[in-house]
Amino acid sequence: MSADLGPIDVLGADAVGQPGHRRFRLFAQNTHGSALIWMEKEQLNSLSLAIDRFLALITEGQILRTEAVAGRQPLPSAIPAGFPRQPTYDLQVGQIRLNYDERREVFLLNVIPLEILMERGREPQLVLREDQSLAFLFTQQQAQQLSSTIAILVTSGRPVCPLCGTPLDGSSHACEKQNGHHDILHIERETEADEEEE
């Protein structure tokens, strides 16, 4: 059953584990409940970029993403000490939807969990559980803080390629933005013969 926590009092992101083997999560809490939302590093970074795009539009460019800061970055604060050990919701992200309500001036995050079905003798199946989605609201200030926290988290692990953002682990790296290495599945072009048939 889908759930809506409404406006959130506590919102943040952190990582568990060592660089290269970290697990990333959002944490959210209010008087109605609490949630741990686990996701991949790329999903977390995409969320941060989406928030920044909204903020730039909403503020007409007054709030822009900071791409680089000189000096050492402060570590983001971890999950609050008072956060429940057994949250109301604990889920793995399958899909995230971010919207902005101009009338109420709040962000809406809708998370659809991913479930892994394991059956004996079969390959594991990944299933999006839209019937168990979780939604909550947060303010522009919370959005700015969350985006900044995510940016610090993402850059505090393994170094990333400055062009494409892929984590670098010491092995060779074929950067698609630098040298055109990009998987192209299929390009379909109309031929002159096709146009004549029409």
Q: Which helix (H) or strand (E) holds 196?
A: helix 192-197
Give 36-66 pLDDT, tens digit per residue: 999 999 999 999 999 999 998 888 766 555 5
Cα–Cα dist 95/78, whole Å:
24
Question: Which CATH number fits the domain that encloses residue 85?
Answer: 3.30.2450
pLDDT, tens digit (0-9, with 9 covering 90-100), for 54-107: 998 888 766 555 554 444 555 566 788 889 999 999 999 999 999 999 999 999
Residue 177 domain-assigned?
A: no
Ramachandran angles phi, psi of 43, nearest 5°: -65, -45
Output the pTM of the full model: 0.72
Structural domain boundaries enclosing 136: 3-157
Report which of 10, 4, 1 is spatially closest to residue 149, judged by C-alpha positions: 10
Whether 165 maps to a domain, the answer reads no
Does residue 175 lie in a domain region?
Answer: no
